[in-house]
Amino acid sequence: MKDTQALINQGRNYLIDGAEYTDSARMCFSKVLNSYHRGLSEEQMCHCAVAAINLSSLYFHYVGDYKSAYEALIKASEISDNLDRPIIAAQIAMNFANIYAIFSHQVESPEFDKLSIDEYHKAFRLASENESWLQTIVTFCNFTSEVQKPEYVRQFTDEIKKFGTLPIPPDNPDFCYAKIRYKSISALLGGDTITAINYLKTQLGSSYDTPNRVIYTHQDLRSISYLYYQTHRLDSALYYAGKLLKFGNKEHNLEAVSDAYCLMERIYQQNGDFDAARMVHTKFLVSQDSILNFQSLGTIDNLKFINDLAAERQKSSILLAESDRQKKLRELIILFSGLLLAITIPLLIVIANRHRRLQASYQDLYNQRQQIIEQESRNRKLRKEHFEAGTIDESGGGRNPDALMVLSILDKSDEVFEPDFSLQTLSELTHIRPRTLSMILNEQLHTTFRDLINQYRVREACEKLSDIANYGQYTIEAISQSVGYKSRTSLITAFKKETGLTPSEYQRIARKKSI
């Protein structure tokens, strides 16, 4: 028992340390869960159920693997059926509510909305009645985060009012956060959107020693951007959508990245910038592909259906035990099998159509990148001609000659593709002091040294990945080293940020075009 509790605590500590420790946290929770069997004591079974709940939350919030999150939660529910622990039941209900809310977003189903609302009601009631204040706070923050669905939030008016009267001890960081969230959502329900936004903005930048820090920040940035959009303050809405995107990339939170692109698309459309909206929509589709592959969505849906089917079969067997049990049970099995088939076929069609749209989006991103490379090739040629002729100050269309000179030197220098290429190295090549060089990059080129070098390296990687005749046999690892990255992961991160595609996907499209 001591070892299992220690493992659970260690897993939670890993999550506090950051998203890069999710594998270590998963190992801790899985080890406890895998020790479960029916011969355990009640306390040991509680530990296994808690481990399954934590594992489900990890998959849901940090990995974006909803299939695994759902499976872990089903296991937690099975274990808790043998226990009389309201707090564990509250945790399970809240996690089910979170997953059903995601299902609703994916398939736009009011039925899943209702399931989510019912589970949140149950979770809040169990947690508050049993004075599990941390669980009460987390549940409250989850169902009040859906500000983009006002009617959904209004279903919890009674819970929101009750939250303000609960005797929660103010001795944990989650409560400090929840007090502001309570004021914000109360203002929103009262029709004062600006006050609601201002309360949420006071939370940003605060640091909480809790795994929920990433979740809370994601919720707040998404809510602020949406509420600004709803009140037609589009510049502010776009600003906070951009902050959400940066936050998602920094924390490796794919769901936050996806939400940011979705908000940006709405904002650009409202602004009439349809080209930008289309580009952002393409990136949104790519982010969705990273979060949830289509087979997983189908599996989750089928898992839920099969789970319901098992419950119905058990109920039917009891009701029909006195009259022709075997015959009617076979009829039910045939009926449910037909329903399962009827659900699966349309779902597969939807998956196939969505896959085709995603491939078309990949193709658009590839074509856009090729156009950018062609334009940059023309720009480099012009810079070279002016640089060699000594007329670089006349070629910049208003740009500072120093900035154009820096670009011209980078154009012809292979040192940029060396792993140890630094600002000091560029300073020596240009005979400009590092500090002055940084100012030129920031003020004239509106970029940083690291971003500029990544642009050159990614462009070189694109050209090599597209050159199937000469580089078709190269691995991604080899190409990453040839353009100056020390690891394959570094290239993938920079490449996806610049192009919206992974190097492998880019190379796959290039191969198809070369046939």
| Tens-level pLDDT at each residue, the chain (515 residues) | 558 888 988 988 888 776 678 889 999 999 999 888 878 888 899 999 999 999 988 888 777 677 788 889 999 999 988 888 899 999 999 988 888 887 776 656 677 788 889 999 999 999 999 999 988 998 998 888 888 888 888 899 999 999 989 998 877 778 888 888 899 999 999 999 999 999 988 877 665 556 577 788 888 899 999 999 999 999 999 999 999 999 888 877 777 888 899 999 999 999 999 888 888 888 887 776 655 443 344 444 444 543 453 344 445 445 555 656 677 777 778 887 777 777 777 777 877 778 788 888 888 888 888 888 888 888 888 887 776 666 655 444 445 678 888 898 888 888 999 999 999 999 999 899 999 999 999 988 899 999 999 999 999 999 999 888 888 888 999 999 999 998 889 999 999 998 889 999 999 898 888 76
pLDDT at 206: 63
- Residue 239's pLDDT is what? 94
Helix (H) or strand (E) holding 161: helix 157-163
Match 């769901």 to its residue by tokens.
255
pTM: 0.51
Greatest Cα pair distance, the chain, in angstroms, is 100
Q: How many CB atoms lie within 10 A of CB 285?
A: 21
What pLDDT, on the 0 to 100 scale, is given for residue 107? 59
Q: What is the pLDDT of residue 227?
A: 92
Q: Tell me the C-alpha to C-alpha distance, in Å, between residue 243 and each of 16, 100, 452, 493.
A: 21, 27, 21, 19
Q: Give CA–CA dist 118/404, Å, rounded.
A: 62
Q: What is the reported pLDDT for 152?
A: 83
Q: Torsions phi, psi of 13, nearest 5?
A: -65, -35
Question: Is 14 exposed, middle or buried (CB count within 10 Å of its CB: 0-12, 13-18, 19+)?
Answer: buried
